[in-house]
Amino acid sequence: MARLPRLTVPGYPHHVIQRGNNRQDIFRSDADREVMLDLISENARKHQVAFNAYVLMDNHFHLLLTPETAQGVPLTMQAVGRRYVRYFNDLYHRTGTLWEGRYKSTLVQTERYLLACMVYIDLNPVRAGMVSDPKSHRWSSHGHYVGQTPDRRIVPPASYWALGNTPFAREAAYTELVREGQSAAQQRAITDATLHGWALGGPEFSAELQKRTPRRTTRAAPGRPPSLPVEG
């Protein structure tokens, strides 16, 4: 079966996952992580992409990116991937690929699922057993959104600004969202949509999105992915 092109439409948040080849570590030091974040930030600005959220794990990373153009996310990820591999291979005297194929991504329905996707990203280190509290994982945007560690690279989405009228109110509201956590069904819905490239949203969202792209936005029936429960 021919591989579907990625689903990418300007103006919508994109949840992106990139893994190391054979699940190998792609970060061996804090310096490596800083290089990666600088590359993402630099290329996101260059290609008109808002860098909304991230988490860096040992062998993969998650991003939330909102492009202004159809090519914004692909161009950003291509540039980041190539430059980081060159940096990593030169530093560690290795050759060959670092990535497990193409990056995975999905479009996120802003009004209903964007904050849920941010919480999903923040809770990755907890699910992996690396920390018990996302605040303890330095390499994510969680610290920025709860007022712990401001990060100038991060561009908060409108959904975050709507959480409160003051920084303290927004930080407290977002802290509570993360504290509440997510069900296994929510986690599976986000993971499935991202790994398979289907839109993460309700039927009306997928239908509207389909008008803007020739690429199929949902899995053909039967076997459609479960809908993500609405928060609150």
Structural domains present in the chain: 14-204 (3.30.70.1290)
Tally the C-alpha atoms within 13 A of residue 155's C-alpha that lie toward its C-beta. 15
Give the three-class secondary structure for 41.
helix
State the maximum Cα–Cα separation within the chain, in Å, rounded to a whole number: 51
pLDDT of residue 145: 98
Q: What angle do CA 204, 54, 225 make, to 5 degrees?
A: 35
Looking at residue 220, what is its pLDDT? 64
- Quote the pLDDT of residue 230: 45
| 74-84 residue pLDDT tens | 999 999 999 99
User: Which tens digit of pLDDT belongs to each residue from 111-153?
Assistant: 888 999 999 999 999 999 999 999 999 999 999 999 999 999 9
* Residue appearing with tokens 């209903």: 112
Predicted pLDDT at 216: 75
C-beta of residue 143 within 8 angstroms of C-beta of residue 122: no
Residue labelled with tokens 């690279």: 153
pLDDT at 205: 85
Encode 151-180: b = buried (16+ Cβ within 10 Å), e = exposed: eeebbbbebbeebeeeeeebbebbbebbee
Regions of the chain short of the pLDDT cut 50: 1-2, 222-223, 225-226, 229-232
Which structure tokens are listed for 58?
């040992």
Phi and psi angles of residue 58, each rounded to the nearest 5 degrees, phi first: -75, -40
